[in-house]
Structure formats: structure tokens, C-alpha cells
Amino acid sequence: MMSATGSSNIFWHECPVGKVDRQKLLNQQGCVVWITGLSGSGKSTLACSLDRELHSKGKLSYILDGDNVRHGLNKNLGFKPEDRTENIRRVGEVAKLFADAGLICIASLISPYRDDRDACRAMLQDPNFVEVFMNMPLEVCEGRDPKGLYKLARAGKIKGFTGIDDPYEPPLNCEIEIKQKDGVCPAPSEMAVQVVSYLDQKGFLQA
């Protein structure tokens, strides 16, 4: 089998233990929960809360956080559009491996471009990709500004910042949308329960 790079000298090696075997061992089904939204929308907060909720239920999950992967796997990438695309592609490939291992992979990234997120979805069988849209107003995210990045962007010290001078393209058909209720943002535990309920309904929490 020729590799994706076009080389005829690289071959896919099949192993005797497959995804189904690993899922039976873990009593869960591997999938990717892709959390997208503006900076400050609560992506990392949800990811950590969801991770704890799954752990409490005896389910194995792992978080791929957008900032964290830029300290290692993607430390050579900047924030130009082509670098953002490559950043998401790499995370998508790693997330796919985690899902194949039978884990519930929680990917938490701004991932502003719809095509890039859709490309990650296309890497997996569609039901195994769960897109969670943190639909929080820009003014709420900017008001939080936990990293002080909006302030720097408004001052012109950061260029190409999502939501200020670079676009965020919201999902068109996400599986889960989390937004304010009567002007109040849901608590982290409430958001996590919403996602866990979806995963349970779709059969991901058992083999």
C-alpha cells in the first residue's frame, strides 16, 4: 500500500490486535470530542471538566490542548493561516490515533477555519467525531481575557488574532452547541454532563 506521501517504499503494517479488541478491553468506544470556539470561550475549562467526569465513570480519556501541543508537537508553527491549518492537521492525526487506541480524545483548540475542522472529521468515521461549539459572544470572551491576549490584539501588538482581525468560522452542523442561558454561561460541570450524556446516548461509553 503506497503511503500518503506518494512513496512506494513506505508500507502500512497491520497488527493482530485491532481497535475492536482495544475497545472491549476498555469497555468504551474510541472517538474524538473536538471543542472549538473563540479564545476565552471556555474550551479548556470544558475539556478538563469533561476529562474529570469521564474519569469518575471509569472511562479513559486524554486531552489535546491547543496551547499545550504548541509547546511540543507543534512548537515550530506560528499563527499564519497555513500554520494554523498544519497545526490542526497534526492534532487531528494524533487524535485519530488516540481514538483508534480506544480512548475518548478531547481536542480543545480555537480551530477557527471550518475547512480545517471538516478535514479532521473526514479522518474518522463521521459518528466518531463529535464537534462541540463553545458559542460564546465575543464580548464575553474578551471580558474574560484570561491570557490578556485580547488586550494585546486591540493594542495592535498581536496580529491575526481570531475574533479581532482574523475570522472565526462557526460550525454549521456541530453535534453539540454550548451557549449562554438567559445571559448566564453554564457551569463547567453542567457543560461536561451535557457532553457525557451525548456520548452515553450514542453508545461511546460501552464497547
Q: In 3D, which of 204, 59, 66 has the Cα closest to residue 134?
A: 66
200 three-class SS: helix
Task: Report the C-alpha gap between 116 and 113 in whole angstroms.
Answer: 6
Clarify whether 111 is annotated catalytic: yes
Task: Report the C-alpha gap between 128 and 131 in whole angstroms.
Answer: 10
Task: Select which of 39, 49, 111, 189 is catalytic.
Answer: 111
Task: Determine the Cα angle at 171 with ends 106 and 82, to 5°.
Answer: 80
Instruction: Identify the bridge partners of residue 129 per DSSP, sorted by sequence position.
Output: 32
Instruction: Give phi and psi for 194, each to the nearest 5.
Output: -60, -45
Catalytic residue numbers read 111
